[in-house]
């Protein structure tokens, strides 16, 4: 089921608008009622945010930049592989935005 495309109606009768918000230190998709401001977080994103929080607490998301031959190497932690369903051979792209590094699919 693709929650992203759901049109939701709030219990108060107000219309829910799609939003991006921060939850547990992660940007998540969700909906916000234009009338009462009630927020709902996309369940798939909420699940990932919880898994990432758990992994971060166990220090599983911290990796070291290493040198292998002439290449600079970082490993992708298993919780990230599972949350994003990454496969061997898949191409990823680095981005730098506002001083932060992003690895995107
Ligand atoms: Zn409402």
Per-residue pLDDT, 2: 61
Angle in degrees, CA 61, 62, 68, rounded to 5? 115
How far is the centre of ligand 1, averaged over its atoms, from the C-alpha of 9 (Å)?
Answer: 8
How far is the centre of ligand 1, averaged over its atoms, from the C-alpha of 19 (Å)?
Answer: 14
3-state helix, strand, coil in the chain (%, to 5): 25, 35, 40
Q: Per-10-residue mean pLDDT for the chain, 105 residues long?
A: 69 93 92 95 93 94 96 95 94 95 92
Per-residue pLDDT, 32: 95
Residue 41 C-beta-side C-alpha neighbours within 13 Å: 15
Per-residue pLDDT, 25: 86
How far is the centre of ligand 1, averaged over its atoms, from the C-alpha of 49 (Å)?
Answer: 24
Per-residue pLDDT, 98: 95
How far is the centre of ligand 1, averaged over its atoms, from the C-alpha of 80 (Å)?
Answer: 34
Per-residue pLDDT, 8: 79
How far is the centre of ligand 1, averaged over its atoms, from the C-alpha of 22 (Å)?
Answer: 20
């Amino acid at each position: 089921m693709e929650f992203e495309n759901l049109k939701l109606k709030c219990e108060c009768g107000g219309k829910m608008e799609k939003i991006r918000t921060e939850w547990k230190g992660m940007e998540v998709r969700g909906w916000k009622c234009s009338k009462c401001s009630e927020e709902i977080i996309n369940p798939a994103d909420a699940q990932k945010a919880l898994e990432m929080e758990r992994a971060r607490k166990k220090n599983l998301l911290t990796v070291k930049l290493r040198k292998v031959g002439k290449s600079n190497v970082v490993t992708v932690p298993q919780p990230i592989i599972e949350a994003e369903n990454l496969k061997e051979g898949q191409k990823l792209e680095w981005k730098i935005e506002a001083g932060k590094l992003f690895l995107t699919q």
